[in-house]
Amino acid sequence: MSKLVLQSLTKRFGGLVAVNGVDLEMTEGEILGIIGPNGAGKTTLINLISGIHVPTSGNVFFDGKDISTFPAHERSKMGIARTFQLIHPLENLTALQNVMIGFMFAQGMNQKDAGVAAQKTCESLKLEHVERDVGQLTILETKKMEIAKTLACGPKVLFLDEVMAGLNSDETKDLIETVKRIAQEHNLAIGVVEHVMGVIKMLTARVIVLDAGEIIAQGPYNEVSQKPEVIKAYLGGEA
């Protein structure tokens, strides 16, 4: 069983401690919510796990191996995938071609096999209009394409950084169902960063709350959201 373990994970940018002594374990099949106010360190945490940043101190273990200093492409090969808060799809290509390129690069597939695999992945996400250029996709279709690209890497652990942003309520429901389905079908551990608490409530069994880089609370959303320290972190005042 794949397991991601963070031990005292810390990242400093000059005088600023963006992630501070984070301990965490995630196992296959689990959807974990990662919440906290703007600048709390959520994206930096994902960057440390996926290899965009090397920690200042502390460790990232995956399947028992210390991968703290591994480059991003090696972590991706091992099964750690993520979406980006600001996405950069390949323009002038269709949605299907964007996903195909994922299969060709990540899994070394030839064009024909990548086409078949990409089609299958897009179907499983109920991503329509795969023949359209990315510029013509709806926001929901673009988000699904980004998720399809991560699945092309054959992930075991997946981080979604605010993928629901910009969706209306029907589209949000659709994407929540999609994320639940891929967690089951691919037996993934998924870390979900979201500002919309309704999404966190529907999607996750457990949440961690980050504030100024530290985990200040964790547990089921309904319990955590009642804690005075969490209310205070969100409102920025007295609970």
Ligand X SMILES: Nc1ncnc2c1ncn2[C@@H]1O[C@H](COP(=O)(O)OP(=O)(O)OP(=O)(O)O)[C@@H](O)[C@H]1O
Q: Contact residues for ligand X (CB under 6 A)?
A: 13, 16, 18, 36, 38-44, 85
The structure tokens listed for 18 are: 């963006």
Give which of ligand X, Mg ion, none residue 218 binds (C-beta under 5 to 8 Å, depending on kind).
none
Closest separation in Å from C-beta 205 to Mg ion: 22
Residue 47 in the binding site for Mg ion (CB under 5 A): no
Q: Based on CB atoms, which residue is closest to ligand X, 14 or 64?
A: 14
Give which of Mg ion, ligand X, none residue 89 binds (C-beta under 5 to 8 Å, depending on kind).
none
Q: Based on CB atoms, which residue is closest to Mg ion, 44 or 97?
A: 44
**Angstrom distance (rounded) from CA 85 to CA 35:** 14
**Angstrom distance (rounded) from CA 127 to CA 148:** 9
Closest separation in Å from C-beta 217 to ligand X: 15
The structure tokens listed for 114 are: 């990548």
**Angstrom distance (rounded) from CA 174 to CA 125:** 10
Residue from 24, 23, 20, 25 nearest 2 by CA: 25
Q: Based on CB atoms, which residue is closest to ligand X, 2 or 43?
A: 43
Residue 43 in the binding site for Mg ion (CB under 5 A): yes
For residue 221, the surrounding DSSP H or E stretch is: helix 221-224
Q: Which residue ranges make up the site for Mg ion (CB under 5 A)?
A: 42-43
